[in-house]
Amino acid sequence: MGKLKLTILIVVFIFIIIQFIPYGRTNPTVTGEIQMPEKVNAIIQRSCYDCHSNQTTWPWYSHVAPVSWLVIGDVNDGREHMNFSEWESYDAKKKEKLIEEIPEEIEKGDMPPFRYLMIHTHAKLTQADIQIIKTWVKDSTNQESGEME
């Protein structure tokens, strides 16, 4: 057997073996979801919820290693930074900070990430979407009660 064939067999064998390495795709229970206007909610769910909530839609490629490791890592990182499904577990100061970061991240082009948008074109934010979010954030941070509508 030639070196090329042996190399291909080894790569295929490794690819098959890594499929059996357990790596968690989870959708924990929603414990206290953020409240926001319907228009904002639709945008946030479409563009943010796959990584920033416990309601991730796991596509077929999230079940194929090594791509699955990247997807699951991104979701875990997103949830750790801000999780709309666990919003009520945050104190008022953290909620305010996270809300204020949303338009900053969007305007910098960091959210949604480019590699996510390459496959999930529906998540791309329009200028109208961005303006709706900015208005919501401005209105939310101006409320004296601290409650997010």
Digits of tens for pLDDT over the chain (149 positions)?
789 999 999 999 988 888 888 778 899 999 999 999 999 999 999 999 999 999 999 999 999 999 999 999 999 999 999 999 999 999 999 999 999 999 999 999 999 999 999 999 999 999 999 999 999 999 988 774 444 44
Number of other CB atoms surrounding residue 56 within 10 Å: 21
pTM of the predicted protein model: 0.84
DSSP state for residue 86 in the 8-state scheme: B
